[in-house]
Amino acid sequence: MHRRAVLAGGITALAGCQTLSRRTDSTPARSEVEWRQIGRDETHRSVAPDGVIPEGISRHGAVELSGTRHSSPVGDSDRVVACDERGLAVYPLDEAVPSSHVDLPGTVPRCPTIDDDRVVTTRYVTDTDTAVVVSVADRTVEWTRQLPGRVVLAPAVADGTVYTGTDESYVALDASTGAIRWQTDDGISPSRWDRIATANLAPAVTDDTVVVSRGRGVVSVDRSTGARNWEYDGGRVFSAPAINERTVYVPEKTGLTALTVETGDRQWRLEADGTWPTPAVGDDHVVTGATGRLVTVDRETGARVDTLSEPFSSVFPSGIGLVGGEVLTGSQNHGAFLVGVDNGAFNPDTARRFGAQSYYTPAFVAGRVAFVHYGQQSELVILSAD
């Protein structure tokens, strides 16, 4: 399989508008644009796809997941994958190929990413406090790499390099071999509770920098060497930062902060409780999740534009995705969810719900909606047009 324009995903997503869904990334336009992991491409640069989620969709298929801890799904035009406590669940979009499960080391999953023919993910072995990076190609383990420290971050991949980190070090590895290209002498410093909450926390990568959580706030390092560029000493960061053009959007527990990529200078800050989901960035507005609600803010000023609190009554522990006129998200009490947005204003009449328990980020993959249904028997669920 060759690299294709990728998928659209979001940790907690609703349906948005054409204004928000137009492509806003600074890279050249492609004929088909989708999002890989956590509502972004594999480097977490915000890209708005042109795909449209069908009005009539129903259950297409599912793969059972092992254990009680899982990752959000990611995919490409051939497959959808998600991690669980046992390893990697693979759902082929070509029905001639059966679904499968690849056993991996480690018990605590992190959100994977797809890089050409391989799936890269990180795992945490709780009984030995071991962080592991794993590459899977052709449904077999290609290589593994043990890292120093604990609390391994989900990976980001750019131009043949895997970026991740632990509580001891941020690390760059060769995507083909797992060889370490550079590592820093410090890393993320989360609390014990954060080690479970940060399953979708990953670096964001530009052409020359890597921006990653340091527990509180974020740090920017040189993509080639790992040398420190700047630090932002903010609040708790539980999800991947989003980078759109030359702005870094940092989702914190107590607010959403916009920083300049080159310098780390603060452009604006939205004060709100529980804004840790990775946001989605459109032409004029940013959509973020907060405790029990969704919020749109003006992209230039950070001023609040609109709030949607019904029918949500629980926190939004997953990210936001914009898909061709809709916002796709998820909530523990209300499942994978869509809602319309027009010029920053939500339209609750367009809301659609796809699952009962899904606080993992849903994804839009090759015209299908994928999400993790969390329950007594958890599943990776695929929806398609009726």
Q: Which of 175-179, 183-187, 188-192, 231-235 has the lowest mean pLDDT?
A: 188-192
Residue 314: is its pLDDT beyond 90? no
The pLDDT mean for the chain works out to 80
Query: Over pLDDT 70: what percentage of the chain?
Result: 78
Residue-level pLDDT at 19: 22
* Cross-strand bridge partners of residue 170: 165
Residue-level pLDDT at 9: 28
Residue-level pLDDT at 365: 84
Cα 261 to Cα 5, 45, 101, 313, 365: the distances in Å are 25, 12, 39, 34, 29
Distance in angstroms (rounded) separating the CA atoms of residues 86 and 224: 33
Model pLDDT for residues 208-220, shown as the tens digit of each residue = 999 998 888 999 9
Q: Please, which pLDDT band fits residue 259 given cuts at 50, 70 and 90?
A: very high
Q: Please, which pLDDT band fits residue 298 given cuts at 50, 70 and 90?
A: very high
Q: Which of 123-137, 314-328, 357-371 has the lowest mean pLDDT?
A: 314-328
Between residues 356 and 270, the one the model is more confident about: 270
The two three-digit tokens of residue 141, written as one number = 């383990």
Cα 221 to Cα 194, 266, 338: the distances in Å are 22, 17, 36
Residue-level pLDDT at 1: 34
Residue 198: is its pLDDT beyond 70? no
Residue-level pLDDT at 253: 86
Asked if 105 and 152 touch (Cβ cutoff 8 Å), the reply is no
Residue 68: is its pLDDT beyond 90? no
Strand 87-92 to 79-83 pairing: antiparallel
Average pLDDT value for residue range 23-27: 31
Residue-level pLDDT at 357: 67
CA atoms within 13 A on the CB side of 276: 24
Distance in angstroms (rounded) separating the CA atoms of residues 169 and 150: 10
* Cross-strand bridge partners of residue 120: 113, 135
Average pLDDT value for residue range 167-182: 95
Please, which residues have CB within 8 angstroms of residue 185's CB and are 6 or more apart in sequence? 169
Residue-level pLDDT at 33: 32
Query: Over pLDDT 90: what percentage of the chain?
Result: 37
Q: How many CB atoms are closer than 10 A to CB 375?
A: 11
Q: Which of 61-65, 244-248, 274-278 has the lowest mean pLDDT?
A: 274-278
Task: Tell me the residue type at 73.
Answer: P
The two three-digit tokens of residue 192, written as one number = 């014990």
Residue-level pLDDT at 91: 95
Topology of the domain comprising 8-385: Methylamine Dehydrogenase; Chain H (2.130.10)
Residue-level pLDDT at 258: 97
Between residues 244 and 184, the one the model is more confident about: 184
Cis previous bond, 311, omega within 30: yes
Q: Please, which pLDDT band fits residue 369 given cuts at 50, 70 and 90?
A: confident
The continuous run of DSSP H or E covering 55 comes out as none
Average pLDDT value for residue range 129-157: 91
Domain ranges of the chain: 8-385
- Highest mean pLDDT among 56-60, 112-116, 140-144, 366-370 belongs to 140-144
Q: Which of 11-15, 110-114, 300-304 has the lowest mean pLDDT?
A: 11-15
The two three-digit tokens of residue 246, written as one number = 């030359």
Q: Please, which pLDDT band fits residue 280 given cuts at 50, 70 and 90?
A: confident
Nearest to 104 by CA among 160, 63, 143, 57: 143
